[in-house]
Amino acid sequence: MLFNTRRIQESMHRVGKRVTNAMASAHSWAGRVDRYAGMAKRTVSILSGALDSSGMGKQVLGGAVKALGGYDQIRDRVMTGFEQAENIRGALKKGGLL
């Protein structure tokens, strides 16, 4: 028989493992990016006093603040997507599909 219950269960288990590994990898990668963004925010905060005193420094500071603000918006969207994916994975796991 081409399809049987055992084969389907084994396949779904493999899919579940891959999804879990992919989620863990993405979470680890996002955590590193988030730590680097936090370091950048602290660096901009520390250097803001020195950068405010010159015209070019104000431009650099403005660009950095704009970029970090854009990062915050993207981070919020990614976190929403991550939570939705976790909810779907949890529902599939609870239903016995993963």
pLDDT tens, position by position, 44-86? 888 888 877 777 878 888 888 888 888 889 988 988 988 898 8
Q: Output DSSP code: residue 98.
A: -
Nearest to 89 by CA among 25, 12, 16, 9: 16
| pLDDT tens digits, one per residue of 17-51 | 888 888 889 889 989 999 999 998 898 888 888 87
pTM, entire model:
0.64
Structure-token pair, residue 11: 């396949």
**DSSP assignment of 55-75, as one string?**
HHHHHHHHHHHHHHHHHHHHH
Per-residue HEC secondary structure of 36-53 comes to HHHHHHHHHHHHHHHHCC
